[in-house]
Structure 1
Amino acid sequence: MLTVRSVFLISLLIVPACTPNSSPPAEAYDPASDSLRFPGEVHLRNIRQLTFGGNNAEAYWSYDDRYLVFQSDWAAINPQGCDQIFLMRADGRPLANGERYRLLSTGKGRTTCAYFLPDGRVLYASTHAAGPECPPVQRTAEGRYVWPVYDTYDIYITDTTGAEPELLIGGPGYDAEATVSPDGRYVVFTSSRTGDLELWRYDLQTGELLQLTHELGYDGGAFFSPDGSKIVWRASRPTGEAAERYRRLLAQGLVEPTDMDLFVADADGSNPRRVIQLPGSQWAPYFHPDGERIIFASNHHTEGGRLFDLFLIRLDGTGLEQITHSGTFDAFPMFSRDGKRLVFASNRNARGEPSRETNIFVADWVEHPEPVDLNFGRE
């Protein structure tokens, strides 16, 4: 979510398993036209920009790979002042009625974390039931950067016309960051209903709730594997004084999002384990289509932690590979259901100039880079 998972990052500058596509023939690709690609980005081709101002993030694919839902505070489409949920075509063309972006949320309160169901409906979290205004954003506490965790967030369902939302998951405390299993049966989400920020699973068939995590710390941003058998998420695991500070801040509806690592578990929360432990923040994880690797955002490789890039890593913690090299913020990756494309958010632009605008980009995924990819920008 942009409000809780990414605002601090931006201000400082995650169906059956499918097989990734083969690289398109080299002769069909014109490197000179790929102005949003940077040297070293050997797995990305034909990067296309889909939004053009403000802060846009958490773009996620529909099950037919034709549409994206995303959140945006871009004034050109959202004069309300804080994030609302929008729909757009993944190829950038207008929707059927001619509009480029369609508002799906109510236009009231603050929203986050939209995600498609297989039937085309959309889940998202919103504070609109508590009031039409944007809730205030607290940036610092105890001399540290913090995220607000609004206890007025509940999870709603709407459709792609922006119909009146129906409450799905509510009650006291924070309920947000919802994503859906490939078969459409389960919703995994983050909730503070037990007094800590834990992962929960909601069964859309029975209405049953299952708590998936139980350790102290912020567990969030969970996604299912392509076959639905596992989940991946990012979590903090504070100890000692850090644990005491975590409790104090959480009691104020705040978290400090600076030290997070990636975890995987079975879909029922069993067999949890840390994938890798790196400095800084590892977050926004999503499974590679092969189900054996994870793409994620990290600042572990940069001094001061101000630069975030996308990385791939195997589930066993080996094979770490850097994917983006834009020299700016790259995060929120999701592979298309067919494995052929990657959507992500970035501060990049064709001019290669510094920017605080965060936009949505789609790229063709190149599983096996060819010489034209390995030599991009170096000839």
Structure 2
Amino acid sequence: MSRLLPLLLALSASSALLSAACATPEPKPKEPLGQMPEASTTAKPEWIPFSIRAGKPVEGNPKEKHLTELRQLTFGGENAEAYWSPDSRKLILQSTREGNACDQIYTLDLGSGETKRVSNGQGKTTCSYFFYPGGKSPEKVLFASTHANSPECPAKPDRSQGYVWPLDEFDIYTANADGSDIQPFITGKGYDAEATIAFDGSRIVFTSTRDGDLELYTSKLDGTDIKRITNTPGYDGGAFFSPDSKKLVWRASRPEGKELEDFKALLGKGLVRPSKLEIVVAAADGSNPRTVTKNGRANFGPYFLPDSRRVIFSSDMISPPGHRGVPNFELFVVDTEAPPTAEGAAPAERITEYEGFDGFPMFSPDGQYLVFASNRFGSQPGETNLFVARWVE
């Protein structure tokens, strides 16, 4: 019996294993399809790299060797003067969309394509900008508007005096980026507009007629300590700080003789003729100004490249002298520290190759992208839309 016991135990174990193997296993509980464990988080998925998804990709021009991954951001109407947020993920712009008779201010999210109006829909607006430095909560912007002086859209000047720009009764306002809490910021009789902010948050620069001429002024970020930094008769405007906040670049006219008389007469009527503008660079306080273009044409919309040395701008310099009809404005880059040619200015490199209007260029704060306005791909003549491209050196 003692010898049979191990054998019986082994047979018993084998029988149990065979019985277990032949038995039908119990099915595992199934999880309902489409259900996920409940969880909530406020964390942003920072591991997902940001990419521009607003608008749609469009065909680039092989001759535009500095521009790649071209995207059209707006479709229809007049859209211009688009400027970047500090994090390079949004734009603020002026547009006649939604049936506006005059420009209104909008923000455009470059990730989602969502567009929000910032201004209140009254009057005429221009020259918007995000506050620098970033990190403010809520995010703040500024822009110029006529709504307090002229709630209706101001009348456009007639063409009896040629092509002129109106100097409407603009004041500068601040607001939250969602359009709430619009507050007067820099005000006064006449034209106050074209405000931009230094990258280091040290000063604001703007254009004003407060002293009887079109001059540049700077102030602290709270609008105090206003200082006039230009003093030559003519139009000084559209100024931007360099990325290192040490320089300014702007457009300027320096009329003399009969042209100066014409300038003053138009200024008295709230008008300016922008047909002869040169690009000027100076220190951030306006000292040591230097003219870096000398072609006698309409050069405007200058902006520094990330190196704080080169400047990109729009010009009709390639249009034949005496050209009638719509001029061809292209984007050019000039090295402000390069030696001048026999004409007295450094050579300019042509960037765009579209027969029409290309203007208002601005680099993203991270230096990767260039946004600009153009008539290209318009659904009707004269339509101006915004485009963004990755910059290639």
Q: TM-score, normalised by structure 1?
A: 0.82
* Maintained 8 Å contact 2:157/2:166: yes
- Distance in 2 (CA, whole Å) between partners of 1:174 and 1:356 is 27
Tell me if 1:123 matches 2:142: yes
AA aligned opposite 2:121 = G
- Distance in 1 (CA, whole Å) between partners of 2:297 and 2:73 is 29
* Maintained 8 Å contact 1:34/1:45: no
Equivalent in the alignment of 2:118: 104
Note the aligned Cα RMSD (angstroms).
Answer: 1.6
Tell me if 1:310 matches 2:331: yes
More relative contact order, 1 or 2 (CA 8 Å, 6+ apart): 1
Unpaired runs of 5+ in structure 1?
1-32, 95-99, 368-379
- Distance in 1 (CA, whole Å) between partners of 2:274 and 2:153 is 22
Unpaired runs of 5+ in structure 2?
1-55, 338-344
- Distance in 2 (CA, whole Å) between partners of 1:309 and 1:355 is 17
Size of the aligned set, in residue pairs, is 322
Equivalent in the alignment of 1:332: 360
Residue-by-residue CA offset, 1:80-117 (whole Å, 9 max, x unaligned): 310000001124x24xxxxx310000100000000010
- Distance in 2 (CA, whole Å) between partners of 1:104 and 1:334 is 20
Q: How does 1:359-374 map to 2 (within 5 A)?
A: 359-367=385-393
AA aligned opposite 1:302 = S
- Distance in 2 (CA, whole Å) between partners of 1:237 and 1:289 is 28
Residue-by-residue CA offset, 1:51-96 (whole Å, 9 max, x unaligned): 100000000000000100000012xx3x3310000001124x24xx
AA aligned opposite 2:367 = G
Q: Following superposition, which runs of at least 4 residues in structure 1 exceed 3 angstroms of deviation?
A: 33-36
Equivalent in the alignment of 1:148: 166
- Distance in 2 (CA, whole Å) between partners of 1:169 and 1:208 is 11
Tell me if 1:273 matches 2:301: no
Partner SS for 1:70? strand
Partner SS for 1:189? strand
Tell me if 1:212 matches 2:212: no
Partner SS for 1:264? strand
Partner SS for 1:334? strand
AA aligned opposite 1:309 = E
- Deviation of the 1:211 alpha carbon: 0.5
- Deviation of the 1:205 alpha carbon: 5.2
The one of 54, 62, 87 equivalent to 2:85 is 62
Residue-by-residue CA offset, 1:204-239 (whole Å, 9 max, x unaligned): 257101101100101000000011001000011100
Equivalent in the alignment of 2:105: 85
Query: Bigger radius of gyration, 1 or 2?
Result: 2
AA aligned opposite 2:151 = P
Structure 2 CA distance for partners of 1:132 and 1:220, relative to 1, 3 Å: same
The one of 166, 186, 192 equivalent to 2:183 is 166
AA aligned opposite 1:282 = N
- The percentage of aligned residue pairs carrying the same residue is 48
* Maintained 8 Å contact 2:277/2:300: yes
